[in-house]
Chain A
Amino acid sequence: MSESVARSGPGRVLVAVYAVFAIGATSRAAVQILTRFHEAPLAYLLSALAGVVYIVATAGLVAGGRTSLRVAAVSCSVELVGVLVVGAFSLLDPAAFPDDTVWSRFGSGYLFIPLVLPVLGLLWVRRVSRSRAASPPIL
């Protein structure tokens, strides 16, 4: 049962939060790109990228195998870098971001959850990996 450790307990809440963000960011980006792509191509492409990264992270956390956790860790890192870089740029050069993305202003439009989420994700992946190293699966 060690494969399911990643998604049990607090991991289940994390996956729920990730799933909502995956759906939210992806569908928002889809609507933006389909209806008014020319207005802010960079912002909308970044929204779409964010959505895809959230989907990958969610899938990685749900699957929870060794490789899946590595995938989750990488996508969480991409998220963290994304929210920091896009957050900084959206403040320094607002003209480049006429419309909001999930990561604009460090995710302030989403209660800063996009900023906290990758950190929690990385901590969780580390905890699961460590508990597995401490007690190797019986199977």
Chain B
Amino acid sequence: MVEALTTTIQVASLLLAAWCLISTFRDQPMVVPHLVAMGVLWLAVIAQAVVSGVLMAQGGRPDETLVFISYLATIVLIPPACAVWGFVERSRWGPAVIAFACLVLPVMMVRLEQLWGPARV
């Protein structure tokens, strides 16, 4: 894992969560910019997954490889799943779903970093 990318994903995710929560409280449905932001965030998460995969292939395996891979796979699936689920809901609760996904993501990234290298935490 690239730590800088993890931090970027976490900050971006929290910003997007804040934006979506503001939309929820202002009673606005989800709009295309929300979806685009979620897409960009998703690309960053995929990039992190690919980089981690390459590093693992080169021998930098975390202790619990199986857990790490399953977490990584789940993380990659969360943004699109929640984006679709939120986009279908044409009310204030659409952005709320996205906000939830964006709050889960940073927590999962912390967990991934812990699995990747306990020494650095």
- Whether A associates with B in a native complex is yes
Query: In the complex, which range does the number of interface residues on chain B fall in?
Result: 20 to 34
Q: Which of B66, B78, B81, B88 is within 8 Å of A35, CB to CB?
A: B66
Q: Which of B2-10, B33-41, B53-61, B94-102 contacts A (4 or more CB under 8 A)?
A: B94-102
Q: Which of A10, A20, A24 is within 8 Å of B93, CB to CB?
A: A10
Q: Which residues of B contact A108 (CB under 8 A)?
A: none
- Contact call A31/B70, Cβ cutoff below 8 A: yes
Q: Which residues of B contact A13 (CB under 8 A)?
A: 93, 96-97, 100
**Complex CA–CA separation, A15 to B101 (angstroms):** 12
Q: Which residues of B contact A27 (CB under 8 A)?
A: 70, 74
Q: Is A81 an interface residue (CB 8 A)?
A: no
Docked complex: A1-52 residues within 8 A CB-CB of B: 8-10, 12-13, 15-17, 19-20, 23-24, 27, 31, 34-35
A-B contact count (CB 8 A): 42
Q: Which residues of B contact A15 (CB under 8 A)?
A: 85
5 nearest A-B residue pairs (beta carbon): A12-B89, A13-B96, A16-B97, A9-B93, A12-B93
Q: Which of A9, A17, A35 is within 8 Å of B89, CB to CB?
A: A9
Q: List 29 A-B contacts (CB under 8 A).
A: A8-B89, A8-B91, A8-B93, A9-B89, A9-B91, A9-B93, A10-B93, A12-B85, A12-B88, A12-B94, A12-B97, A13-B97, A13-B100, A15-B85, A16-B82, A16-B85, A16-B86, A16-B100, A16-B101, A17-B100, A20-B78, A20-B100, A23-B74, A24-B74, A27-B74, A31-B66, A31-B70, A34-B66, A35-B66
**Complex CA–CA separation, A9 to B78 (angstroms):** 19
- What is A's interface to B at a CB cutoff of 8 Å? 8-10, 12-13, 15-17, 19-20, 23-24, 27, 31, 34-35
Q: Which residues of A contact B64 (CB under 8 A)?
A: 31
Q: Is B51 an interface residue (CB 8 A)?
A: no
**Complex CA–CA separation, A20 to B78 (angstroms):** 8
Give the shortest distance, in Å, between B61 (CB) and chain A (any CB).
15
Encoded as 1 (CB less than 8 Å from any A CB) or 0, chain B from 80 to 121 comes to 011001101101011011001100100000000000000000
User: Looking across the interface, which residue of chain A has its beta carbon closest to that of B90?
Assistant: A8
Q: Is B31 an interface residue (CB 8 A)?
A: no
Which residue among A17, A20, A24, A34 has the maximum number of chain B CB atoms within 10 Å of its CB? A20
Q: Which residues of B contact A12 (CB under 8 A)?
A: 85-86, 88-89, 93-94, 96-97
